[in-house]
Amino acid sequence: MKGRLFQLLYYGLPALVIAVSVLALNSGPLLKRPIGNHGDVPAQLEALLPLAEAERWADAKAAAERVGADWERLRRRIRLTSARDEVETFDLELAALRGAIEAGDAALTRVAVRRLLALWADLGA
């Protein structure tokens, strides 16, 4: 009995650790899903485009702040499956979006949103 328990721990525990690690590292798309009413970053980014085209900068700034708040919530989860550089690049592009909105430049806002959407697609992939 003691030998079987030792054998189970000797072979089973490393296999379990490897299986859990593989599942955690491949769960990027699952971790990017919104939980509740918050966290749908791509939809909020898409909603920001018409605001910038209509030059409704106060509404666009509020939408960018919501994107930033949701990103901060999701960032902790996404960090498990994404490279550090990808997360930092998303932060930098989010700052560029805020700057484009503050400058009132619709073209720069469109570019920043498209870059953020492309980065979002690559996060955890």
Q: State the pTM of this model.
A: 0.74
Select from 55, 64, 57 the least CA-distant residue to 113.
64
> What is the predicted pLDDT for the residue at 112?
96
Using DSSP, state whether 22 is helix, strand or coil.
helix
What residue spans define the domains of the chain?
2-122
Answer whether 119's CB lies under 8 Å from 89's CB: yes
Mean pLDDT, rounded, of the chain:
85
What three-state secondary structure class fits 33?
Answer: coil
Higher pLDDT, 3 or 119: 119
Better-scored residue on pLDDT, 112 or 21: 112
What is the DSSP code (8-state) at residue 34?
A: -
Map 91-123 to HEC letters.
HHHHHHHHHHHHHCCHHHHHHHHHHHHHHHHHC
Contacting residues for 113 by C-beta, under 8 A, at least 6 apart: 45, 46, 48, 49, 52, 97
CATH number of the structural domain 2-122: 1.20.120
Query: What 3-state class would DSSP assign to 83?
Result: coil
Tens digits of residue pLDDT in 50-84: 999 999 999 999 999 999 998 998 888 787 777 78
